[in-house]
Amino acid sequence: MIEKRELTLIVNGRDYSVRVDPRRTLVDAIRDDCGQTGTHIGCEHGVCGACTVLIDGEPVRSCLMFAVQAEGCQIRTVEGLAKGDELHPLQQAFIENHGLQCGFCTPGFLMLATGVLEREPDISDEDLIDVLASNLCRCTGYENIVKAVRAAAAKMTAGR
Amino acid sequence: MKPAPFRYHAPKTIDEAVETLAQVAAEDGRVLAGGQSLVPIMAFRLARPGHLVDINGVAALRRLAVDGDRLSIGACVRHAAFHKPVVDGPLGRLLAAVVRHIAHYPIRTRGTFCGSVAHADPASEWCAVAAALDAEMVAKSATGTRSIAAQDFFRGIMTTALREDELLTEVRLPILPADTRFGFYEFNRRAGDFALAMALVTYRLQDGVISEPRVAVGGVEPQPRRIEQAERALAGRAPGRAAFEAAAAAVGAAVDPLDDATTSASYRRDLAQTVTRRALEQAAA
């Protein structure tokens, strides 16, 4: 029998004390132990990107990290994007540009784009397309996702 | 899709890491660095390690520095570190060109250079770099440290000269002379997929002819390697179509390609020739 571990996960600035098996993936801990179900689980082997979250500002696949590895890290999920009733510019842009249809992949795309735009607000079109190819979307055909992220980037840069 | 249970160890120093590894090696203890290959394999239960030794907390392994005529890359240096040149001159630019071909951005923020080399997937870009440039792998265990040359390190598909109780602490790459030209070309069916073939070439020009050519091919055979016959076809000749086609043909003749359900050996052989020629054209451009 392998002992569970007590640890504190910091999700969107809030501390969650959890007791998990070492094999518990970060995405399972975020959803089931912290109750933050906005982060979706798709393939569970790092291909689809639905579970993308920010760890200390960098987008990572949370199905490829164990919860025990995230202790002390700043974890940001889709729940942390809006400020009260005010949506994040990326969320607003996804609505305005029809950047989602079924919505399953959207939390992953939002966190991927947030991490990249915070690091590189003036990202080129070519690099942006390369980054957005990281995640799978089976509805939109990507065009409107690219458009939405472009629109949000313009708004975020103007608002700086 | 959930990994099987394992015991988790998080050493803080290299000594602690290799001592832990020595204790757990017999129970299929594995090193966990970026986890971008190991964790999916565990999710599929193709690997069921009894122990994971997580080296992410070992600060000394994050070292990325020039030591004399070598670039030392510590075991916890992530792919993303190479997006911008890490050293002046052709080596930094070469690594920055290659890194863009490794999976996708969120994989590159976690996955590590040394982890990719230790995992030794035939389609690994860093393994091709290590083979092309004759990298030196530094393996440490509780009983000592040894250095392994690239040509002795890769032993087949996901198989290396590393012992179970050894940690690949560092890979050392030679700093390339300032006039080194390079080209890297890989082919895959979709951006970010595993490569079906890739070539990395470097050479210098002396009096208008090619000197010190290196031609390495990855993703084609069980392990990446330099193709001597192609290098001989280039040495002493002027860069251009005739020399490049001769080198590509030499690669095609020299390789013994992998064969699988979606990609036949003969198709891979054609690809190997094409990626070699395109890498050479890039180097000359």
In the block, residue with structure tokens 């009096």: B207
Identify which of B270, B272, B185 has the alpha carbon closest to the alpha carbon of residue B221.
Answer: B272
**Quick one: closest CA in B to A71, which residue?**
B57
pLDDT at A20: 98
> B187 with B274: CB under 8 angstroms?
yes
Contacts of B27 (CB under 8 A, 6+ apart): B50, B51
Mean pLDDT of B73-98: 98
Are B122 and B107 contained in the same domain?
yes
Q: Which amino acid is at B80?
A: A
CA–CA separation, A36 and A13 (whole Å): 13
Are B168 and B185 contained in the same domain?
no
User: In the predicted model, is pLDDT for residue A65 greater than 90?
Assistant: yes
Are B19 and B91 contained in the same domain?
no
pLDDT at A2: 83
pLDDT above 70: percentage of residues in chain B? 100
Mean pLDDT of B77-96: 98
Are B66 and B163 contained in the same domain?
yes
Mean pLDDT of B225-245: 98
Question: In this complex, which of B1, B109, B191 lies closest to A44 when CB atoms are compared?
Answer: B1
Residue of A27, A119, A134 to mutate, testing the B interface (most B Cβ within 10 Å of its Cβ): A134
**pLDDT tens-digit readout, A71-126:** 999 999 999 999 999 999 999 999 999 999 999 999 999 999 999 999 999 999 99
Q: How confident is the model at residue A13 (pLDDT cuts 50, 70, 90)?
A: very high
Superfamily of domain A89-158: [2Fe-2S]-binding domain (1.10.150.120)
Within a domain: B95: yes
Mean pLDDT of B155-179: 97
Query: Is residue A1 classed exposed, middle or buried when 0-12, 13-18 and 19+ CB atoms within 10 A define those classes?
Result: exposed
Within a domain: B1: no
Identify which of B199, B206, B205 has the alpha carbon closest to the alpha carbon of residue B277.
Answer: B199
The model's pTM is 0.97
A32, A80, A128, B38 from A7: Cα distances, Å: 15, 21, 36, 23
Angle, helices A143-158 vs A89-96, to 10°: value is 140
From chain B, the residues in CB contact with A56 under 8 A are none
Q: Domain coordinates of chain A in residue numbers?
A: 5-80, 89-158
From chain A, the residues in CB contact with B109 under 8 A are 58-60
CA–CA separation, B103 and B195 (whole Å): 10
Are B167 and B187 contained in the same domain?
no
Are B207 and B265 contained in the same domain?
yes
Q: Tell me, what CATH number does B258's domain have?
A: 3.30.390.50
Are B103 and B31 contained in the same domain?
no
If you ran DSSP here, which 8-state letter would residue B4 be given? P
User: In the predicted model, is pLDDT for residue B190 greater than 90?
Assistant: no
For residue B39, give its domain range.
7-54
The mean pLDDT value of chain B amounts to 97
Within a domain: B271: yes
User: In the predicted model, is pLDDT for residue A1 greater than 80?
Assistant: no
Are B63 and B150 contained in the same domain?
yes
Number of domains in chain B: 3
The mean pLDDT value of chain A amounts to 96
Q: A5-80 belongs to which CATH class?
A: alpha beta
Secondary element (H or E) of residue B253: helix B241-254
Q: How confident is the model at residue A160 (pLDDT cuts 50, 70, 90)?
A: low
pLDDT at B1: 81
Are B194 and B253 contained in the same domain?
yes
CA–CA separation, B8 and A21 (whole Å): 9
Residue of A52, A64, A128, A136 to mutate, testing the B interface (most B Cβ within 10 Å of its Cβ): A64
Which of B132, B156, B174 terminates a domain? The answer is B174
**Quick one: closest CA in A to B3, which residue?**
A23
Are B187 and B253 contained in the same domain?
yes
Question: In this complex, which of A45, A59, A64 lies closest to B105 when CB atoms are compared?
Answer: A59
User: In the predicted model, is pLDDT for residue B110 greater than 80?
Assistant: yes
Q: Tell me, what CATH number does B138's domain have?
A: 3.30.465.10
pLDDT at B119: 98
Which of B139, B174, B209 terminates a domain? The answer is B174
> B211 with B243: CB under 8 angstroms?
no
Within a domain: B232: yes
Asked if A5 lies within 8 A of B56 by C-beta distance, the reply is: no
Within a domain: B31: yes
Within a domain: B187: yes
Mean pLDDT of B76-95: 98
**pLDDT tens-digit readout, B236-270:** 999 999 999 999 999 999 999 999 999 999 999 99
Mean pLDDT of B177-181: 97
